Amino acid sequence: MKLLEYKGKELLKKLGIEIPKSVLIDKDSIEKSKEVAGEVIVKAQIIGGKRKKLGLIEFATEDVEDKAKIILAKKYNNLPIESVLVEEKIKGEEYYISIVYDTEARKPMIVFLKSGGIDVEESEEEPSTLIVSPNDGLSEEDAKAFAAKVGMDDAFASVLVKSFACFQEYYCRILEINPLIKTDKGYVAADAKITLDDTALKKIEEFKDVEDTEDKTFLTQLELDARKIDADDHRGVAGKTFVEFDGDIAVLASGGGASLTCMDALDEAGGNAANYTEYSGNPPKEKVIKLTEVTLSKKGLKGCLVIGGTANFTDIYETLSGFCEGLLKVSPKPEYPIIIRRAGPRDDEAKVFVEKFGKDNGFDITFYGEETPMTVAVKEMVKRVG
Amino acid sequence: MIINKETKVLVQGITGKEGSRATKEMIAYGTKVVAGVTPGKGGQEVENLPVFNTVKEAKEFDKEINATVLYVPPLFVKGAALEAIEAGIELIVIITENVPVQDTAKFVELAAKKNIRIIGPSSIGILQLGECRIGSIGGANEDRMYSKGNVAIVSKSGGMCSETSLLLTQQGIGQSTVVGIGGDVICGTSFTDMFALLEKDENTKVIVMYGEIGGKYEELAAQMIKNGDVTKPVVAFISGQFAQKLSREVAMGHAGAIIEKGSGSAQEKKKVLKESGALIANYHDEIPTLVKEALEKNGI
């Protein structure tokens, strides 16, 4: 789960890292912006980068309320901006630090750049890194040695120790402070980008009740409709993952690795997916009916691919009869080719049923089983769509 | 190899639905499953095997236990793994998905200090054809997909262990060792760890790897091939060129860009693997053709 800047800063503060004086306001509490005097920065609280370049960060002195109102009136990815952070402006040398997991060392790693700030990605500077034992943590001594090596002082080492403690305490996947500013009074974290490990939220008191960590900023209506299928019925999975694209081949896939392998093949063969969605874990027929309806409600489709590997438990007959029932509900009636490649429990019965269903109801359906590799079926789909 | 006919297996989380089902399937394959552990359920039996409260008790019951498989809920994995490490069990296979990365980092570090091998988390298991099977690999009827031969499969995706084996089996190519290493950020056994073992394994002539986007494990595998530390032919399939489009992760900070510097993508992984000398399957169904090519080229 990605945290908004102000929330990330709260966590840093709990571990003893200095953050600028600030106040969080929304459209009903704009007058509270007066609580921070002098030169301030007004920052939209959104998940995502490039705020400065999008005009979602403004400097202000007297006109704080106006600037806040302007930002609050803007949108980010078609969704309103709900809050802004009004924060005292901090001046000084800007540094960059982050903590992530290094796959090679299989341990946390501290990354440091001497030149922090918004253009850090374009920086030519080679990052300095320090691998830290997840069991022993970062000792004051090791932090000081690293700080000295990169030309920083003991106060900086202390920030590293506190940052690492925060990284561990809150099960962070990524903790980034950019910039970390050196002032007369010490180091101040002027921004915070923290991603928590979704799998560990239940271990953290203040996040243990968070159920849904998905950022809804980007979802289309079709995507929201598909997610609703799973939200309303917890048996099996159908629609929880649904991503809409610009293409013309509708996809209903099964099994994580298998579905991605097939999507890769579709891409490689020059096909254009209209969506990506998955059903698995033996969902009841009703959920497959709904997912079929939602998926095929998209306009301009030229083909439909129902694809998956060899299922262990998912009842192929049950789920495919759900797909067929869903087909009957789609309007206008799909005239485009439909290719199914499925194997697993009751796949023989499913084949007989689907082929008869297609003939009786005038659908162009081809059924492939285990004998046909998944990606061969995908290439066939692309060929048929042309 | 890592497991054989003599491997004695413990099942942690044996009384759960997945744990008991896997136990039944492992026994059916001929694996020597000797006991199970579920805290608070000591004294019960599953598939006529004794259930203990702790790994220590199980180890006292049978001192020869040298492998354990974990079917415990995500937040209990760390505790279960530490127990197994403490008891000195040489192989720990973790099937559970969604294990917090910090937990994995901790027990992987401790296991390494004691020379204990961890496979997973998010592993489907490991199968040594004709000898032993640990985990859920193959499901209830593994003979539908797997056949004995001399091609090893190392896969991040569990489901694709079966699909890849099926493709090979349909072309008359059998497998030696098939292992799901899991696709987590930190995995106990990586591609390179497996390659080192398979290089020395006389039953394996060709290695098939199924990689995914993210992390550096595939790049490290390429480096190993390039260095000549693995001389057996490697056929590689990298999934996720599509997933990159699928991900709408807006740039959240710069950490990824600074550290990965463009690596981690499917294209980059394919490129470095190709340069290292691996045979690249652009479609999954090309794998058997490339394996045949590799076998012929090496006169096998």
Check whether residue A69 and residue A191 sit in a common domain.
no
Check whether residue B158 and residue B270 sit in a common domain.
yes
Check whether residue B74 and residue B32 sit in a common domain.
yes
Check whether residue B57 and residue B151 sit in a common domain.
no
The tokens describing B233, both together, are: 């032919």
Q: Does B73 touch chain A if contact means CB atoms closer than 8 Å? A: no
Check whether residue B289 and residue B248 sit in a common domain.
yes
**C-alpha atoms less than 13 angstroms from C-alpha of B104 in its C-beta half-sphere:** 35
Q: What is d(CA A304, CA A335) in angstroms, rounded to the nearest whole number?
A: 10
Asked if residue A10 belongs to a domain, the reply is no
Domain at A227, CATH number: 3.40.50.261
SS3 of B246, please? helix
- Using the 3D structure, point to which of A60, A88, A116 is the last residue of a domain: A88
Domain housing B265: 145-300
Check whether residue A79 and residue A100 sit in a common domain.
no
Check whether residue B79 and residue B185 sit in a common domain.
no
Residue B186's alpha-carbon distances to A1, A111, A166, B74, B101, in angstroms, are 18, 18, 20, 15, 7
Check whether residue A230 and residue A357 sit in a common domain.
yes
Domain at B171, CATH number: 3.40.50.261
Check whether residue A68 and residue A198 sit in a common domain.
no
For chain B, how many structural domains are there in total? 2
Check whether residue B24 and residue B161 sit in a common domain.
no
Q: What is d(CA A380, CA B179) in angstroms, rounded to the nearest whole number?
A: 31
Q: Which of B196, B197, B143 is nearest to B165 (CA)?
A: B143
- CB interface of B with A, residues 195-234, below 8 Å: 210, 212, 215-217, 220
The tokens describing A342, both together, are: 């499925």
Check whether residue A126 and residue A261 sit in a common domain.
no
Q: What is d(CA A34, CA A93) in angstroms, rounded to the nearest whole number?
A: 27
Q: What is d(CA B178, CA B138) in angstroms, rounded to the nearest whole number?
A: 10
Asked if residue A194 belongs to a domain, the reply is yes
Q: Where does residue B161 rank: exposed (0-12), middle (13-18), buried (19+ CB within 10 A)? A: buried
Domain at B73, CATH number: 3.40.50.720
Asked if residue B132 belongs to a domain, the reply is no
Q: What is d(CA B96, CA A244) in angstroms, rounded to the nearest whole number?
A: 30
Q: What is d(CA A58, CA A67) in angstroms, rounded to the nearest whole number?
A: 7
Q: Does B43 touch chain A if contact means CB atoms closer than 8 Å? A: no
Check whether residue B180 and residue B277 sit in a common domain.
yes
A260 and B145 within 8 Å at the Cβ level: the answer is no
B239 and A312 within 8 Å at the Cβ level: the answer is no
Asked if residue B220 belongs to a domain, the reply is yes
Q: Which of A307, A314, A322, A327 is nearest to A254 (CA)?
A: A307
Which residues in B lie closer than 8 A to residue A218 (C-beta atoms)? 248
Please indicate whether residue B254 is annotated as part of the active site: yes
Q: What is d(CA B140, CA B273) in angstroms, rounded to the nearest whole number?
A: 34
CA–CA min distance B254, chain A (Å): 6
Residue B161's alpha-carbon distances to A103, B164, B182, in angstroms, are 22, 5, 11
Check whether residue B97 and residue B153 sit in a common domain.
no
Each residue's pLDDT tens digit, A189-224? 999 999 999 999 999 998 988 877 777 777 888 998
pLDDT, average across residues A161-178? 97
Q: Does B258 touch chain A if contact means CB atoms closer than 8 Å? A: yes
CA–CA min distance A211, chain B (Å): 15
ipTM of the complex: 0.94
Check whether residue A120 and residue A199 sit in a common domain.
yes
Q: Contact, B173 vs B291, CB < 8 A?
A: yes
Q: Where does residue B235 rank: exposed (0-12), middle (13-18), buried (19+ CB within 10 A)? A: buried
Asked if residue A2 belongs to a domain, the reply is no
Q: Which of A106, A260, A265 is nearest to B212 (CA)?
A: A260
Residue A54's alpha-carbon distances to A25, A86, A118, A228, B76, in angstroms, are 20, 17, 13, 32, 44
The residue length of chain B stands at 300
Which of A172-186, A302-316, A365-379 shows the lowest per-residue confidence on average (mean pLDDT)?
A302-316
Please list the pLDDT of chain B residue by residue as tens digits (300 residues): 899 999 999 999 999 999 999 999 999 999 999 999 999 999 999 999 999 999 999 999 999 999 999 999 999 999 999 999 999 999 999 999 999 999 999 999 999 999 999 999 999 999 999 999 999 998 877 888 999 999 999 999 998 999 999 999 999 999 999 999 999 999 999 999 999 999 999 999 999 999 998 889 999 999 999 999 999 999 999 998 887 776 555 455 676 666 666 667 888 999 999 999 999 999 999 999 999 999 998 877
Asked if residue B127 belongs to a domain, the reply is no
Which residues in A lie closer than 8 A to residue B246 (C-beta atoms)? 243, 263, 276
Q: What is d(CA A144, CA A214) in angstroms, rounded to the nearest whole number?
A: 38
Asked if residue A1 belongs to a domain, the reply is no
Asked if residue A293 belongs to a domain, the reply is yes
Q: Contact, A178 vs A96, CB < 8 A?
A: yes
Q: Contact, A176 vs A162, CB < 8 A?
A: no
Asked if residue A9 belongs to a domain, the reply is no
A3 DSSP assignment: P
Which of A16-25, A33-42, A139-148, B125-134 shows the lowest per-residue confidence on average (mean pLDDT)?
A33-42
Check whether residue A142 and residue A190 sit in a common domain.
yes
Which listed residue (B17, B254, B255, B261) is catalytic?
B254
Domain housing A64: 21-88
pLDDT at B240: 85
